[in-house]
């Protein structure tokens, strides 16, 4: 018979094991991708799959020789950060008005914004392509910044709105009594309080923009193509390509993975903001 203390210890061990199992399952594809990137093409296609093999850097050298990685990486950085910045500039005031000056249409407006995410992107490909063509935005970083901002804006507004809703209105009223303008309210009161939530919104937007592939493949050609286009260029209809594709995918994921790792504290804090009072 287990004592209460032993029972709790067992529960902790079991929960810990379960958490590790889930984490490892989620991480396994990334681990396998990194592993495959050091294999030869024959080893990468081997059945049964090989866990032990002689590692090689030939895939990375091939990518270095064939593609200008930094050109694509720089485009990814510019469009991800640019769209996140522009998105936040629009999302914060929008969420502010919806959270603190709610009207009877606020809820339906929020739902309508989110409903734009429900349409498959390919459904609007031709109209968006034509608009981009007419405005000279095809294969430009500014064009991608615009489209990424529009894609992520509903989620950003929703997230910021949720964080703002957690803040008591009395704090804003106190600021108003002290003579703060709307801008000062946002800048001096709201933003510092909801820093964690805003940081997680920024991170999520960055990750979504970094990984977006449909629009980046369809609206760019060479000069504005981000890392997703580089990854797509290593998939081959005729010939073995898994090892090279794994290597280029590892290179494409690395910056955002490192960035996410460094800022995980903010990310976790932001995601759990408001969950526990």
Partner 1 sequence: MNNSPIRSALFVATLAAVSGASLASTTVTIGTVNNGDMIRMQELSGAFEQAHPDIKLEWVVLEENVLRQRLTTDIATNGGQFDVMTIGMYEAPIWGKKGWLKPVENLPADYDLEDIFPSVRKGLSSEGSLYGLPFYSESSMTYYRTDLFEAAGLSMPNQPSWDQIRDFAKALHKPAEGQYGLCLRGKAGWGENMAIVSTMANAFGARWFDEQWKPEFNGSAWKDTIEFYVDALNKYGPPGVSSNGFNETLALFGSGKCAIWVDSTVAGSFVTDTSQSNVTDKVGFALAPQQVTTKGAGWLWSWGLAIPASSDAGDAATEFVTWATSKEYSQLVAEKFGIAAMPPGSRASTYANADYMAAAPFAAKTLESMDRADPDDSTLKPSPYTGIQFAAIPEFQSIATQVGKLVSGALAGSMTVDEALSSSQSITEREMKRARYYQ
Q: Residue numbers of the site for partner 1 (CB under 8 A)?
A: 40-42, 45-47, 66, 125-126, 129-130, 133, 138-139, 217-218, 221-223, 225, 229, 232-241
User: Shortest approach of partner 1 to residue 229 CB, angstroms?
Assistant: 8
Helix (H, G, I), strand (E, B) or coil at 263: coil
Nearer to partner 1, 168 or 239 (CB): 239
Residue number with CB closer to partner 1 (45 or 60)? 45
Nearer to partner 1, 138 or 271 (CB): 138
Handedness of CA 53, 57, 63, 68 (dihedral sign): positive
CA distance 151 to 161: 17
**CB 145 to partner 1: min, Å:** 18
Contact (Cβ atoms closer than 8 angstroms) between residue 197 and residue 160:
yes
Kindly state the smallest distance separating residue 41's Cβ from partner 1, in Å. 6
Strand, helix or coil at 229? helix
Query: Which residue's structure tokens are 């600021």?
Result: 175
Least CB distance from residue 169 to partner 1, whole Å?
49
Cβ-based nearer residue to partner 1, 4 or 65: 65
CA atoms of 247 and 243, how far apart (whole Å): 6
Comparing C-alpha atoms, which of 117, 151, 118, 119 is closest to residue 219? Answer: 151
| Three-class secondary structure of residue 3 per DSSP | coil
Cβ-based nearer residue to partner 1, 164 or 215? 215
Nearer to partner 1 (CB atom), residue 17 or residue 223: 223
Q: Which residues contact 84 (CB under 8 A, 6 or more apart)?
A: 152, 202, 205, 206, 209
CB of 122 vs partner 1, minimal distance in Å = 9
DSSP secondary structure code for residue 238 in this structure: S
CB of 121 to partner 1, least distance (A): 12
- Cα(217)–Cα(235) distance, rounded to whole angstroms? 13
């Amino acid at each position: 018979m287990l004592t209460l203390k032993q029972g709790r210890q067992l529960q902790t061990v079991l929960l810990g094991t379960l958490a590790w199992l889930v984490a490892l399952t989620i991480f396994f594809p990334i681990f396998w991708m990194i592993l495959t990137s050091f294999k030869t093409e024959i080893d990468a296609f081997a059945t049964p799959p090989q866990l032990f093999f002689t590692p090689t850097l030939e895939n990375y050298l091939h990518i270095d020789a064939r593609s200008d990685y930094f050109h694509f990486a720089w485009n990814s950085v510019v469009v991800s950060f640019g769209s996140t910045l522009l998105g936040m500039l629009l999302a914060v005031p929008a969420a502010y008005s919806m959270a603190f000056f709610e009207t009877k249409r606020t809820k339906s407006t929020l739902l309508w914004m989110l409903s734009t995410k429900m349409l498959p992107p390919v459904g609007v490909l031709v109209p968006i392509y034509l608009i981009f063509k007419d405005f000279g935005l095809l294969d430009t970083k500014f064009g991608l910044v615009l489209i990424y901002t529009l894609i992520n804006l509903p989620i950003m507004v929703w997230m910021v709105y949720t964080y703002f809703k957690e803040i008591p209105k009395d704090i804003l009223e106190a600021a108003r009594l002290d003579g703060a303008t709307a801008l000062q309210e946002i800048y001096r009161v709201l933003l510092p309080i909801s820093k964690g939530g805003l940081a997680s919104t920024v991170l999520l937007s960055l990750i979504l923009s970094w990984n977006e592939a449909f629009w980046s493949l369809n609206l760019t050609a060479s000069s504005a193509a981000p890392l997703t286009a580089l990854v797509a260029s290593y998939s081959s209809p005729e010939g073995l390509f898994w090892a090279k594709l794994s290597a280029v995918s590892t290179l494409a994921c690395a910056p955002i993975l490192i960035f996410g790792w460094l800022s995980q504290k903010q990310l976790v804090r932001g995601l759990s903001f408001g969950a526990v009072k």
